[in-house]
């Protein structure tokens, strides 16, 4: 390789100035045109409108069973917990990452669910069935005892099949798992003893 | 404009036509630059067929893709059905679809082999840095292409795979949730997501990919091919100005590549006809169930070619973060205590370590999992500047380097295996060790690659004519 001589040609600075100016003006124009293109990536008006509240009938859920309804395209679980499952919630605190639902309370846990069972009525647990790690839907692991992918002293709860995060029967995440937070409790309220409304609460 | 070349009016019609074209378009020159007079080293071995094979697979994917688009419907309500329609009702549709789905896995097999070749023979070293960088960009495009294409059949794995990967972006601090929303175009993966992935998969990414392939080849033909000895053949030229150890690409290597293509097609067609799902590795069983946004399959795993990176993502837990923080401090302390640096620079390093530690403690492990997964690919771009060895090829490096590379390959395969398995405590530990080795291999390369005694590199390549 031979060294290329440096070009000593004089720069016409007035031309250079105009080239820089017009290039900058062109770049601003191109950036402005890019805005509508990028904006098309946002959710459409139709997608935004599809967020109405959902009514759920609780009468047909037996103790220890779970019902799943769709709200804003997400699965929402209504779990009717048995007395044993509720009793198992106490004494887990040491193994949980956020037993008292203190993290991101405005996003994850409405004020009326900021208790040990994370629910209005202890019997019915309502949560968005989407793992706070990467959005998979955890599976039911209500059976107590040792089983695949779970600790031997398992007391019932949920297991995310994607990355192995585990949650107790109140959707509280166990420590040292990929999921950082407890499952989201959506805004909800009781219309009567057997009718639940998901997506709205009294505060709203 | 170049001067018009005049050819004898008595020349054959073909020669006159070529002359007519050459006076208007550099056809003969392009042919000579890239095939007829492109001198490739004589000693290229088996590993050098994978570049040509990846062009072959690219052609298969483009041609089959064009025909699939004629029957496919990018609509959340119709997509799954239209793929089944291609499989059952479109004449020979099953063949074209299986060629495309098998082609995706074949692409990664040949590209991983191609990259491995570059790694062991030092093909990324000066002056081939840009060839390597264009290649890494092609690899990134290929990953994007594969990921977005996998959503299109709208099966359970398509849906939940996309859900997981898009949610990776939500882990970015501050802007994450809005970014994920912008990618999905809806609050969950839905019709809007399917449509935009379709657009990216069939036109946007392939255009970028083709441009990069052209850049990769132009850069390669500018500097010339490396070879298993890592000897620069341009350093020894004959009287005619051509490298003595080189041979025109055509017909010597075109014949080699056609033979390799024949072998490739035997395996490729055998898979298409006898095992198109390849035991659930090329087409996962759960993807024959239509997407259900309310139910995640019991075991979800990406397709095999993403699993090494997926394992690294899963490896980053809170415990692993403590190990990573220890690594940051280990690196900083070595730099401060052993490095020959100005005092001010050492203070900056310590300050940076404190800042990084604070960030690592204040942000979720989930985000760092994403950083590790992305970093595992991005780090490849820096390889030309990480390798400090005095020689290019593994053949002339200290013998123990061979083991470092062998462990790297085994480690990559183990990570890939763990990525398809359900999460387990022992698997998590192994993938954490594997992640550390993967990054240690690259980040410590400036040191380990310069250690040991290299063997003398010959001035000419090792080649014995048959």
Of residues A38, A161, A163, nearest to B298 (C-beta)? A161
SS3 at position B411: helix
* Closest alpha carbon within chain A to B297: A161
C-alpha distances (whole Å) from B190 to each of A13, A107, B76, B180 are 55, 23, 7, 13
For the stretch B186-232, pLDDT in tens is: 888 889 999 999 999 999 999 999 999 999 999 999 999 999 999 99
Phi then psi dihedrals of residue A118, to 5 deg: 50, 50
For chain A, strand residue ranges (E) read 54-57, 66-71, 74-80, 124-128, 139-141, 157-159, 166-167, 188-192, 195-198
What does the block give as tokens for A171?
């959707």
Supply the pLDDT for residue A176.
83
For the stretch A143-185, pLDDT in tens is: 888 887 888 888 889 998 877 889 999 999 998 887 888 999 9
Supply the pLDDT for residue B99.
97
SS3 at position A20: helix
CB contact under 8 A, A164 and B424: yes
Of B152, B143, B164, nearest to B297 by C-alpha is B164
Whole-structure pTM value: 0.87
Residue to substitute from B187, B194, B302, B368, interface A, most A β-carbons within 10 A = B187
Q: What is the band of A52 on the pLDDT scale with cuts at 50, 70, 90?
A: confident
Q: B100 or A102, which is more confident?
A: B100
Neighbours of B47 (CB within 10 A): 16
Nearest chain B CA: its distance from A132 CA (Å): 9
CB contact under 8 A, A74 and B196: no
Q: Is the pLDDT of residue A135 over 90?
A: no
Using a CB–CB cut-off of 8 Å, the residues of A that contact B are: 38, 41-44, 47, 51, 68, 70, 72-75, 129, 133-139, 148-149, 160-164, 175-180
Whole-angstrom Cα distance, residue B191 to residue B186? 8
Under 8 Å between Cβ of A113 and A185: yes
Quick one: chain A helix, strand, coil %, rounded to 5?
25, 20, 55
| A9 is an active site residue | no
Neighbours of B289 (CB within 10 A): 14
DSSP classification of residue B285: G
CB contact under 8 A, B187 and A72: yes
B residues 212-231 near A, CB within 8 Å? none
CB contact under 8 A, A42 and B185: yes
Which residue in this structure is represented by tokens 């040991």? B452
SS3 at position B38: coil
SS3 at position A55: strand
Supply the pLDDT for residue A203.
59
Of A165, A168, A167, A183, nearest to A86 by C-alpha is A168
* Exposure string over B401-428, b if 16+ CB within 10 A, otherwise e: beebeeebeebbebbbbbbbeebeeebb
Chain A residues in contact with B184 by the CB 8 A cut-off are 43
* Sign of the alpha-carbon dihedral angle for B385, B388, B390, B394: negative
Q: A4 or B144, which is more confident?
A: B144
Within 8 A by CB and 6+ apart from A52, the residues are A199
Chain B residues in contact with A138 by the CB 8 A cut-off are 296
B183 touches chain A (CB under 8 A): yes
Residues of chain B with pLDDT under 70: 1-2
C-alpha distances (whole Å) from B159 to each of B98, B156, B168, B279, B288 are 20, 5, 14, 20, 12
Q: How many helices (H) does chain A have, and how many strands (E)?
A: 4, 9
Of residues B163, B299, B365, nearest to A178 (C-beta)? B365
For the stretch B253-309, pLDDT in tens is: 999 999 999 999 999 999 999 999 998 889 888 899 999 888 888 777 889 999 999
C-alpha distances (whole Å) from A179 to each of A133, A166, A173, B181, B375 are 4, 8, 7, 20, 21
B296 touches chain A (CB under 8 A): yes
Of residues A137, A149, A177, nearest to B296 (C-beta)? A137
What does the block give as tokens for B245?
């150890």
Supply the pLDDT for residue B128.
96
Of residues A41, A135, A179, nearest to B163 (C-beta)? A135
Of residues A43, A138, A161, nearest to B185 (C-beta)? A43
C-alpha distances (whole Å) from B228 to each of A155, B43, B213, B394, B459 are 59, 7, 23, 8, 13
Chain A residues in contact with B171 by the CB 8 A cut-off are 134
Supply the pLDDT for residue A204.
45
Of B55, B43, B45, B41, nearest to B111 by C-alpha is B55
Nearest chain B CA: its distance from A158 CA (Å): 12
How high is the ipTM of this complex? 0.76
Q: Is the pLDDT of residue A1 over 60?
A: no
SS3 at position B439: helix
């Amino acid at each position: 390789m031979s060294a290329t001589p440096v070009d000593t040609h004089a720069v016409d600075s007035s031309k250079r100035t105009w080239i820089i100016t017009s290039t900058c003006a062109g770049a601003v124009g191109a950036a402005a045109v890019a805005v509508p293109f990028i904006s098309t990536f946002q959710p459409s008006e139709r997608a935004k409108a599809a967020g109405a509240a959902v009514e759920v009938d609780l009468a047909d859920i037996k103790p220890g069973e779970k019902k799943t309804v769709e709200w804003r395209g997400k699965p929402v679980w209504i779990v009717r917990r048995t007395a044993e499952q509720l009793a198992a919630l106490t004494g887990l605190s040491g193994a949980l990452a956020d037993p008292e639902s203190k993290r991101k309370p405005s996003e994850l846990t409405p004020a009326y669910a900021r208790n040990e069972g994370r629910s209005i009525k202890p019997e019915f647990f309502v949560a968005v069935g989407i793992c706070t790690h990467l959005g998979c839907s955890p599976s039911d692991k209500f059976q107590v005892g040792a089983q695949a992918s779970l600790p031997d002293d398992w007391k019932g709860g949920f297991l995310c099949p994607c990355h192995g995060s585990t949650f107790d029967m109140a959707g509280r995440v166990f420590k040292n798992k990929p999921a950082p937070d407890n499952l989201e409790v959506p805004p909800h309220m009781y219309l009567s003893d057997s009718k639940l409304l998901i997506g709205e609460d009294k505060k709203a | 404009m170049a001067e018009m070349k005049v050819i004898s009016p008595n020349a054959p019609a073909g020669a006159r036509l070529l002359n007519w074209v050459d006076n208007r378009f550099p056809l003969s020159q392009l042919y000579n630059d890239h095939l007829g007079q492109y001198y490739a080293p004589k000693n290229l071995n088996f590993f050098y067929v994978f570049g040509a094979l990846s062009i072959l697979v690219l052609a298969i994917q483009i041609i089959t893709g064009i025909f699939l688009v004629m029957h496919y419907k990018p609509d959340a309500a119709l997509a799954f059905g239209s793929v089944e329609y291609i499989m059952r009702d479109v004449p020979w549709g099953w063949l074209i679809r299986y060629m495309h789905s098998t082609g995706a896995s074949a692409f990664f097999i040949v590209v991983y082999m191609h990259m491995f070749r570059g790694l062991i023979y030092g093909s990324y070293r000066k002056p081939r840095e840009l060839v390597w960088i264009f290649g890494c960009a092609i690899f990134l495009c290929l990953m994007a292409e594969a990921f977005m294409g996998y959503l299109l059949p709208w099966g359970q794995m398509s849906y939940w795979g996309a859900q997981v990967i898009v949610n990776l972006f939500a882990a970015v601090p501050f802007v994450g949730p809005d970014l994920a929303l912008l990618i999905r175009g809806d609050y969950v993966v839905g019709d809007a997501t399917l449509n935009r992935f379709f657009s990216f998969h069939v036109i946007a990414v392939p255009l970028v990919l083709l441009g990069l392939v052209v850049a990769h080849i132009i850069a390669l033909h500018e500097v010339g091919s490396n070879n298993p000895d890592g000897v620069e053949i341009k350093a020894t030229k004959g009287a005619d100005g051509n490298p003595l150890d080189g041979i025109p690409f055509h017909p010597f290597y075109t014949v080699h590549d056609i033979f390799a293509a024949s072998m490739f097609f035997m395996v490729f067609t055998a898979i298409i006809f006898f095992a198109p799902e390849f035991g659930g590795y090329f087409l996962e069983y759960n993807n024959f169930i239509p997407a259900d946004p309310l139910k995640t399959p019991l075991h979800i795993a990406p397709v095999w070619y993403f699993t090494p990176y997926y394992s690294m993502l899963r490896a980053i837990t809170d415990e692993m973060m403590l190990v990573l923080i220890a690594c940051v401090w280990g690196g900083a302390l070595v730099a401060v205590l052993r490095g020959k640096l100005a005092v001010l620079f050492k203070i900056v390093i310590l300050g940076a370590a404190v800042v990084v530690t604070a960030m690592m403690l204040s942000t979720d492990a989930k985000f760092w999992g994403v950083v590790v997964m992305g970093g595992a690919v991005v780090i490849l771009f820096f390889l030309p500047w990480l390798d400090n060895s005095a020689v290019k090829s593994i053949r002339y490096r200290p013998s123990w380097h061979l083991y470092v590379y062998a462990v790297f390959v085994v480690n990559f395969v183990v990570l890939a295996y763990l990525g398809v398995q359900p999460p387990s405590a022992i698997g998590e530990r192994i993938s954490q060790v594997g992640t550390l080795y993967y990054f240690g291999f690259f980040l410590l390369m400036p040191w380990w690659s310069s250690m040991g005694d290299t063997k003398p590199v010959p001035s000419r390549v090792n080649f014995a004519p048959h």
